[in-house]
Amino acid sequence: MERIQFVIVMGGGVIVLVGFLVWLFLHLEKKRTKALQAIAAEIGLQFSATQHEDLSASMQKFPLFNKGRGRKIRNVMSTETDIARLTIFDYQYRTGGGDSSKTHRQTVVALESEALRLPTFSLRPERVFDKIGAAIGMQDIDFEEHADFSDNFVLSGDDQQLVRQFFDSELLNEFVKRKGISVESAPGSFVYFRTRRRKPEQIRDYMNQAYAIYSALVDRLSRSTSTSN
């Protein structure tokens, strides 16, 4: 009898704990949404707390948005300037299953502009397993003359030769200044992100970081134009 009572008490305790954790998660997410809405208003960005289906569809061209399952976009902040359309949002997806299931949460900045006549490439921080993969022939565009970049980033693209030509010395130097970032490009746009979500008070600086990448890419394109002329 005592054993049954113990099991019942333990089971009830687990239910209460799970319920509390769910409540806490929802409370913190609601608090985050409210803080991001305030930041968006302060910066002058439009805000929507709910998922954007059109935005989800437009992001499918980037590898990040084809990973895992349970993909969700929330807390969307956007504006359109003279130079580009800017969108900042929370993005999450799940990988693995059962006890190995993991939810990835990131803050993503997307910039769209006719000026971004970019080759398609993917750039992200290099990890230990990437070094092993490179040793057995997995794709990673390295630059012997710029070891600092190659030691810190994995760079790949549909047209490796075109991507290699695009990443000239000046552009490589710009990325080396920003270790830990990821950038995925497509003609007319790119997305910028890191491994974790940014705090609401970091959004303004995060937006400026993305614009700095935009400037570096446009400068590279202008050098191509100058060379061709």
Q: pLDDT tens digits, the chain, 229 residues: what are they?
A: 556 654 555 555 656 555 645 545 556 789 999 999 999 999 999 999 987 778 989 999 999 999 999 999 999 999 998 889 999 999 999 998 887 889 999 999 999 999 999 999 999 999 866 655 444 445 689 898 899 999 999 999 989 999 999 999 999 999 999 999 999 999 999 999 998 999 999 999 999 999 999 999 999 999 965 554 4
Q: Which residues contact 203 (CB under 8 A, 6 or more apart)?
A: 36, 39, 43, 77, 88, 107
| SS3 label, residue 69 | strand
With 0.75 as the threshold, say if the pTM is over it. yes
Three-class SS string for 76-129?
A: EEEEECCCCEEEEEEEEEEECCHHHCEEEEEEEEEEECCCCCCCCEEEEECCHH
Cα radius of gyration (the chain): 21
Q: What are the phi and psi torsion angles at 6 (to 5°)? A: -65, -45
- Alpha carbon 199 to its chain centroid, in Å, reads 14
- CA dist 158 and 40 (Å) reads 36
Note the residue count of the chain: 229
- Nearest Cα to Cα of residue 183 among 201, 204, 163: 163
Q: How many CB atoms lie within 10 A of CB 40?
A: 21
